[in-house]
Amino acid sequence: MKILVTGGAGFIGSHVVDAYVAAGHDVVIVDDLSTGKESNLNPRARFHRLDLRDSSLDELFAAEKPEVVNHHAAKASVRESMVEPALYADVNITGGINLLERCRKHKVSKFIYASTGGAVYGEPHYLPADEAHPVAPLDPYGVSKAAFEYYLPLYFKYHGIRYTILRYANVYGPRQDPYGEAGVVAIFTGRMLAGQQVIINGSGDQERDFVYVGDLARASVLALHKGDSGTYNIGTGVGTSINTLFAAVKHIVSSDQPEIHGPAKVGEVFKIWLSADRARQELGWQPTTDLHQGLELTADFFRTKH
């Protein structure tokens, strides 16, 4: 099967590409390298450097003729989105619509969308949050990701493009960028290994659902043949506090860092973890990497880099 992966040079997208290649598929990567890295590219996939809003995307579709599109490319910083809401709407919604239009024109059969369970639900009314939970994002990033979800049933109804929406929990693992704003696991691990001070935002009692990137990539493989017209949380169903995470990473990397707290960040959910029961029942997916094992694998990656 020929699959086009947008954002395939990024942290998550590159692992999805690897999983597709390992499963024997023909993979094409589209990435503008604004946050992705050439070092993440799988040498067995074909790479095109391109912005999704570019008109030349049509020529790429005409040449490559993908059967499936897996859409990971996005602006993805909660804090930046609070300052640049129009940019997030332009890239995540307008860019996504341009991609869908190319899928319509060139007869793509299925569209797999990487959404966010950590941001679309807002502050949860109940935990774990399942797919029936109200969508009430607290930041423009979450709004843009949720808004694009609504286009997919329309393109199925009017153009026959099958779709699966995967709402990710907090993803961590090798290749995540520890510099600037990134996942807290990468930040803690990278800075501790470099002997730099880690600052915990707020009290550290915030809780997140940390899912290992290798487990998550399997969901995109399963979604090739399952989950049509479905929305699925991809998480562990377990909340872990930032303070607990700090202590675990500190132990794994043998750091002597003291616990220091800074101000809380605006627009961030305080506690969220996801029910993935529907993914288990309908996709046959469940996480297999526990947090300690995943943190060890992540630390090994960063040790190699350092």
**What values do phi and psi take at 154, rounded to 5?**
-65, -45
**Six-digit token string for 171:** 């993803």
**Three-class SS of residue 58?**
helix
CA distances from 211 to 68, 108, 183, 192, 277 (A): 25, 30, 11, 21, 15
241 membership: H or E segment, kind and range: strand 240-241
Contact 218, 280 (CB under 8 A): no
**Six-digit token string for 267:** 């627009």
H helices of 194-290, in order, are: 213-222, 242-252, 277-278
- The upper half-sphere exposure of residue 191, i.e. CA atoms within 13 Å in the direction of its Cβ, equals 19
Active site residue 20: no
Active-site residue, from 121, 141, 155, 163: 141
Q: Is the peptide bond before 134 cis (omega within 30 degrees of 0)?
A: no
- Decide: residue 8, CB within 10 A, 0-12 exposed, 13-18 middle, 19+ buried: buried
Sequence-distant (6+) residues with CB within 8 A of 304 are none
Token pair 């600052």 in the structure block, residue: 199
284: left (phi over 0), alpha (psi -120 to 50) or beta: left
Enzyme catalytic residues: 141
